[in-house]
Amino acid sequence: MARRILLFTLLALCAFAALAGRYDTMRKQVEASMLVTGEVVVAPDGAVQSYSLDRADALPTEVKQLLAEVVPGWELDVAKADGDPLQSPAAVRMSVQLLARPIPGADDQLRVMIQDTAFWDPKAPVQVEAKGKLTPPEYPPFANRSGMSGIVYVVLRLNPDGAIAETHVERVDMTVLSDEKTLRKFSKILAKAAVDAAKQWTFSIAPERLARPGPIDVRVPIEFISWNQTPKAEHGRWRAYVPGPYAPIPWQSRTADGGEVKGHIGAMVPGQLYSTDAPIKLRGSPAGT
Protein backbone atom coordinates (compact mmCIF):
# COMPACT_ATOMS: atom_id res chain seq x y z
CA MET A 1 0.00 0.00 0.00
CA ALA A 2 1.56 3.32 -1.03
CA ARG A 3 0.93 6.86 -2.13
CA ARG A 4 2.58 9.12 -4.69
CA ILE A 5 4.14 12.54 -4.33
CA LEU A 6 5.82 14.77 -6.88
CA LEU A 7 9.53 14.21 -7.27
CA PHE A 8 10.47 17.89 -7.46
CA THR A 9 8.74 18.50 -4.12
CA LEU A 10 10.75 15.78 -2.44
CA LEU A 11 13.96 17.11 -3.95
CA ALA A 12 13.30 20.52 -2.44
CA LEU A 13 12.52 19.08 0.99
CA CYS A 14 15.70 17.05 0.97
CA ALA A 15 17.79 20.07 0.00
CA PHE A 16 19.08 18.55 -3.22
CA ALA A 17 19.14 21.82 -5.14
CA ALA A 18 22.92 21.82 -5.25
CA LEU A 19 22.75 18.63 -7.32
CA ALA A 20 20.44 20.06 -9.95
CA GLY A 21 23.07 19.67 -12.65
CA ARG A 22 22.96 15.92 -12.14
CA TYR A 23 19.16 15.67 -12.00
CA ASP A 24 18.72 13.07 -14.73
CA THR A 25 21.09 10.67 -13.00
CA MET A 26 20.00 11.50 -9.47
CA ARG A 27 16.28 11.05 -10.00
CA LYS A 28 16.85 7.40 -10.84
CA GLN A 29 18.53 6.72 -7.48
CA VAL A 30 16.83 9.19 -5.14
CA GLU A 31 15.35 7.67 -2.01
CA ALA A 32 14.14 9.50 1.06
CA SER A 33 13.19 8.57 4.60
CA MET A 34 10.95 10.04 7.28
CA LEU A 35 10.57 8.92 10.89
CA VAL A 36 7.13 9.37 12.45
CA THR A 37 6.46 8.73 16.13
CA GLY A 38 3.27 8.30 18.10
CA GLU A 39 1.25 5.97 20.30
CA VAL A 40 -0.94 2.92 19.69
CA VAL A 41 -3.50 1.45 22.09
CA VAL A 42 -3.41 -2.34 21.82
CA ALA A 43 -6.24 -4.67 22.86
CA PRO A 44 -5.52 -7.92 24.75
CA ASP A 45 -5.80 -9.87 21.46
CA GLY A 46 -3.14 -7.63 19.88
CA ALA A 47 -5.44 -5.58 17.65
CA VAL A 48 -4.87 -1.83 17.44
CA GLN A 49 -7.81 -0.04 19.05
CA SER A 50 -6.62 3.48 18.31
CA TYR A 51 -3.51 5.46 17.52
CA SER A 52 -2.21 9.02 17.59
CA LEU A 53 0.72 10.73 15.87
CA ASP A 54 3.11 13.19 17.46
CA ARG A 55 2.70 16.67 15.96
CA ALA A 56 0.39 15.35 13.26
CA ASP A 57 -0.22 18.86 11.95
CA ALA A 58 3.39 19.02 10.72
CA LEU A 59 3.21 15.78 8.73
CA PRO A 60 2.55 15.66 4.96
CA THR A 61 -0.99 14.75 3.98
CA GLU A 62 0.18 11.70 2.02
CA VAL A 63 1.91 10.31 5.12
CA LYS A 64 -1.12 10.76 7.37
CA GLN A 65 -3.43 9.19 4.80
CA LEU A 66 -1.17 6.16 4.37
CA LEU A 67 -0.90 5.61 8.12
CA ALA A 68 -4.67 6.00 8.52
CA GLU A 69 -5.20 3.20 5.99
CA VAL A 70 -2.64 0.82 7.50
CA VAL A 71 -2.18 1.31 11.26
CA PRO A 72 -5.77 0.35 12.31
CA GLY A 73 -5.20 -3.05 10.73
CA TRP A 74 -2.00 -3.84 12.63
CA GLU A 75 -1.75 -6.57 15.25
CA LEU A 76 0.99 -6.62 17.89
CA ASP A 77 2.43 -9.18 20.25
CA VAL A 78 2.56 -7.45 23.64
CA ALA A 79 3.08 -9.02 27.06
CA LYS A 80 3.34 -7.46 30.49
CA ALA A 81 6.72 -7.08 32.16
CA ASP A 82 6.21 -10.36 34.07
CA GLY A 83 5.51 -12.19 30.83
CA ASP A 84 1.77 -12.63 31.43
CA PRO A 85 -0.60 -11.76 28.58
CA LEU A 86 -2.47 -8.47 28.53
CA GLN A 87 -5.81 -8.39 30.36
CA SER A 88 -6.80 -4.87 29.29
CA PRO A 89 -5.79 -2.41 26.53
CA ALA A 90 -2.27 -1.01 26.80
CA ALA A 91 -0.73 2.13 25.31
CA VAL A 92 2.70 1.65 23.73
CA ARG A 93 4.96 4.06 21.90
CA MET A 94 5.71 3.53 18.23
CA SER A 95 8.04 4.87 15.59
CA VAL A 96 7.49 4.28 11.89
CA GLN A 97 10.02 4.64 9.11
CA LEU A 98 8.55 5.68 5.77
CA LEU A 99 10.44 5.58 2.49
CA ALA A 100 9.83 7.41 -0.78
CA ARG A 101 11.19 5.64 -3.84
CA PRO A 102 10.99 6.30 -7.60
CA ILE A 103 8.15 4.63 -9.48
CA PRO A 104 9.53 2.70 -12.46
CA GLY A 105 8.39 4.35 -15.68
CA ALA A 106 7.15 7.49 -13.88
CA ASP A 107 10.21 9.69 -13.40
CA ASP A 108 8.22 12.59 -11.95
CA GLN A 109 6.74 10.63 -9.05
CA LEU A 110 7.73 8.62 -6.00
CA ARG A 111 5.94 5.90 -4.09
CA VAL A 112 5.60 6.40 -0.33
CA MET A 113 5.63 3.18 1.70
CA ILE A 114 6.03 1.98 5.27
CA GLN A 115 9.43 0.35 5.59
CA ASP A 116 9.87 -0.45 9.27
CA THR A 117 8.40 -0.10 12.77
CA ALA A 118 9.60 -0.11 16.36
CA PHE A 119 7.54 -0.31 19.57
CA TRP A 120 8.27 0.07 23.27
CA ASP A 121 6.37 0.33 26.52
CA PRO A 122 7.26 3.58 28.32
CA LYS A 123 5.87 2.17 31.60
CA ALA A 124 7.82 -1.09 31.54
CA PRO A 125 10.49 -1.58 34.23
CA VAL A 126 13.89 -0.43 33.00
CA GLN A 127 16.19 -3.40 32.43
CA VAL A 128 19.22 -1.47 31.19
CA GLU A 129 19.83 2.25 31.41
CA ALA A 130 22.76 4.53 30.78
CA LYS A 131 24.75 5.94 33.66
CA GLY A 132 24.41 9.62 32.97
CA LYS A 133 24.08 10.97 29.44
CA LEU A 134 25.03 9.04 26.33
CA THR A 135 27.65 11.55 25.26
CA PRO A 136 27.43 11.85 21.47
CA PRO A 137 30.54 11.25 19.39
CA GLU A 138 32.67 14.06 18.12
CA TYR A 139 31.69 14.77 14.54
CA PRO A 140 34.75 14.04 12.36
CA PRO A 141 35.65 17.53 11.07
CA PHE A 142 36.42 16.29 7.55
CA ALA A 143 33.02 14.58 7.30
CA ASN A 144 31.24 17.65 8.65
CA ARG A 145 33.00 20.03 6.25
CA SER A 146 32.15 17.69 3.38
CA GLY A 147 28.45 17.75 4.28
CA MET A 148 28.41 14.00 4.96
CA SER A 149 25.79 12.78 7.41
CA GLY A 150 24.26 9.49 8.44
CA ILE A 151 22.91 7.20 11.16
CA VAL A 152 25.12 4.50 12.67
CA TYR A 153 23.32 1.56 14.32
CA VAL A 154 25.61 0.35 17.10
CA VAL A 155 25.08 -2.82 19.14
CA LEU A 156 26.75 -3.00 22.54
CA ARG A 157 27.34 -6.21 24.46
CA LEU A 158 27.56 -5.46 28.18
CA ASN A 159 29.45 -7.00 31.05
CA PRO A 160 27.45 -7.66 34.26
CA ASP A 161 28.90 -4.44 35.73
CA GLY A 162 27.52 -2.42 32.82
CA ALA A 163 30.84 -1.85 31.06
CA ILE A 164 31.18 -2.40 27.32
CA ALA A 165 32.38 -5.90 26.45
CA GLU A 166 32.03 -5.74 22.66
CA THR A 167 30.79 -3.35 20.01
CA HIS A 168 29.35 -3.98 16.58
CA VAL A 169 28.04 -1.75 13.79
CA GLU A 170 24.99 -3.34 12.18
CA ARG A 171 24.44 -0.75 9.48
CA VAL A 172 25.27 2.79 8.46
CA ASP A 173 22.51 4.65 6.62
CA MET A 174 23.84 7.75 4.87
CA THR A 175 21.43 10.67 4.75
CA VAL A 176 22.99 12.42 1.77
CA LEU A 177 23.28 11.55 -1.91
CA SER A 178 26.68 10.98 -3.48
CA ASP A 179 28.55 8.37 -5.47
CA GLU A 180 28.99 4.90 -4.00
CA LYS A 181 32.71 5.25 -3.33
CA THR A 182 32.28 8.50 -1.39
CA LEU A 183 29.39 7.16 0.69
CA ARG A 184 31.32 4.00 1.53
CA LYS A 185 34.33 6.03 2.62
CA PHE A 186 32.39 8.34 4.90
CA SER A 187 30.21 5.59 6.33
CA LYS A 188 33.39 3.99 7.69
CA ILE A 189 34.49 7.34 9.15
CA LEU A 190 31.15 7.87 10.91
CA ALA A 191 31.06 4.26 12.13
CA LYS A 192 34.48 4.60 13.75
CA ALA A 193 33.49 7.85 15.47
CA ALA A 194 30.31 6.25 16.80
CA VAL A 195 32.10 3.19 18.16
CA ASP A 196 34.86 5.27 19.76
CA ALA A 197 32.23 7.27 21.66
CA ALA A 198 30.16 4.22 22.62
CA LYS A 199 33.17 2.53 24.21
CA GLN A 200 33.20 5.30 26.82
CA TRP A 201 29.61 4.71 27.93
CA THR A 202 28.60 2.64 30.97
CA PHE A 203 25.23 1.25 31.97
CA SER A 204 23.21 0.08 34.96
CA ILE A 205 21.62 -3.37 34.67
CA ALA A 206 18.60 -4.38 36.74
CA PRO A 207 19.09 -7.45 39.00
CA GLU A 208 16.23 -9.32 37.30
CA ARG A 209 17.97 -8.86 33.94
CA LEU A 210 21.26 -10.12 35.37
CA ALA A 211 19.44 -13.22 36.58
CA ARG A 212 18.38 -14.13 33.03
CA PRO A 213 20.75 -16.23 30.91
CA GLY A 214 22.29 -14.97 27.70
CA PRO A 215 24.21 -11.89 26.63
CA ILE A 216 23.00 -8.43 27.58
CA ASP A 217 22.82 -6.47 24.35
CA VAL A 218 21.47 -3.02 23.55
CA ARG A 219 21.22 -0.94 20.39
CA VAL A 220 21.81 2.77 20.05
CA PRO A 221 21.24 4.56 16.71
CA ILE A 222 23.74 7.43 16.57
CA GLU A 223 22.98 10.29 14.18
CA PHE A 224 25.46 12.65 12.54
CA ILE A 225 23.89 15.80 11.07
CA SER A 226 26.14 18.00 8.95
CA TRP A 227 26.18 21.77 9.03
CA ASN A 228 24.09 22.05 5.83
CA GLN A 229 21.36 19.53 6.67
CA THR A 230 17.92 19.82 8.24
CA PRO A 231 18.14 19.32 12.02
CA LYS A 232 16.49 16.17 13.35
CA ALA A 233 14.26 18.38 15.52
CA GLU A 234 12.45 19.58 12.37
CA HIS A 235 9.47 17.28 12.30
CA GLY A 236 7.79 15.88 9.21
CA ARG A 237 10.60 16.46 6.72
CA TRP A 238 11.89 14.03 4.12
CA ARG A 239 15.61 13.38 4.13
CA ALA A 240 17.94 11.68 1.68
CA TYR A 241 18.40 8.02 2.51
CA VAL A 242 20.97 5.50 1.28
CA PRO A 243 20.82 2.32 3.39
CA GLY A 244 24.13 0.59 3.90
CA PRO A 245 24.76 -3.15 3.90
CA TYR A 246 23.63 -5.04 6.97
CA ALA A 247 26.20 -6.87 9.12
CA PRO A 248 24.68 -9.49 11.47
CA ILE A 249 25.68 -9.37 15.13
CA PRO A 250 28.59 -11.84 15.35
CA TRP A 251 27.45 -13.35 18.63
CA GLN A 252 23.70 -13.07 18.00
CA SER A 253 22.63 -12.95 14.36
CA ARG A 254 18.97 -13.54 15.21
CA THR A 255 16.48 -12.09 17.67
CA ALA A 256 15.47 -13.98 20.82
CA ASP A 257 12.50 -15.59 19.05
CA GLY A 258 14.59 -16.70 16.08
CA GLY A 259 13.56 -13.91 13.72
CA GLU A 260 15.86 -11.90 11.53
CA VAL A 261 17.01 -8.59 13.02
CA LYS A 262 18.06 -6.80 9.85
CA GLY A 263 14.57 -5.50 9.07
CA HIS A 264 13.92 -4.03 12.50
CA ILE A 265 16.35 -1.17 13.00
CA GLY A 266 15.40 1.54 10.49
CA ALA A 267 12.54 2.88 12.61
CA MET A 268 14.61 3.34 15.76
CA VAL A 269 14.87 6.89 17.07
CA PRO A 270 18.47 8.18 17.14
CA GLY A 271 19.91 8.56 20.62
CA GLN A 272 17.41 6.18 22.22
CA LEU A 273 18.40 2.92 23.90
CA TYR A 274 16.78 -0.30 22.61
CA SER A 275 16.87 -3.92 23.69
CA THR A 276 17.86 -6.39 20.98
CA ASP A 277 15.14 -8.72 22.28
CA ALA A 278 12.36 -6.58 20.71
CA PRO A 279 9.78 -7.37 23.46
CA ILE A 280 6.92 -5.78 21.46
CA LYS A 281 6.59 -7.01 17.89
CA LEU A 282 4.33 -6.38 14.94
CA ARG A 283 2.60 -9.42 13.49
CA GLY A 284 2.99 -9.51 9.74
CA SER A 285 4.13 -6.76 7.41
CA PRO A 286 4.14 -3.08 8.50
CA ALA A 287 2.65 -2.26 5.11
CA GLY A 288 -0.45 -4.24 6.03
CA THR A 289 -0.15 -6.62 3.09
What number is the average pLDDT over the span 142-155? 91
pLDDT, position 74: 96
Rounded mean pLDDT of the chain? 82
pLDDT band at residue 18, thresholds of 50, 70 and 90? Answer: very low
pTM, two decimals, is: 0.84
What number is the average pLDDT over the span 106-119? 83
Q: Where are the domains of the chain?
A: 3-283
pLDDT, position 66: 94
- What digits encode the pLDDT tens for the residues 157-197? 999 999 999 999 999 999 888 888 999 999 999 999 999 99
Which residue from 81, 73, 65 is spatially nearest to 42, judged by alpha carbons?
73
d(CA 259, CA 158): 22
Work out the burial of residue 31: count CB atoms within 10 Å of its CB; fewer than 13 is exposed, 13-18 middle, 19 or more buried: middle
pLDDT, position 256: 45
Long-range contacts of 22-29 (CB under 8 A, 24+ apart): 26/177, 27/102, 27/107, 28/102, 28/107, 29/102, 29/177
Which residue from 265, 272, 190 is spatially nearest to 224, judged by alpha carbons?
190
Element containing residue 165 per DSSP (H, E): strand 164-174
Nearest-5° Cα angle at 191, 202 to 180 = 165
- The answer, yes or no, to whether residue 10 has pLDDT greater than 80, is no
Contacts of 150 (CB under 8 A, 6+ apart): 172, 173, 174, 175, 176, 186, 187, 190, 223, 224
pLDDT, position 133: 84
pLDDT band at residue 156, thresholds of 50, 70 and 90? Answer: very high
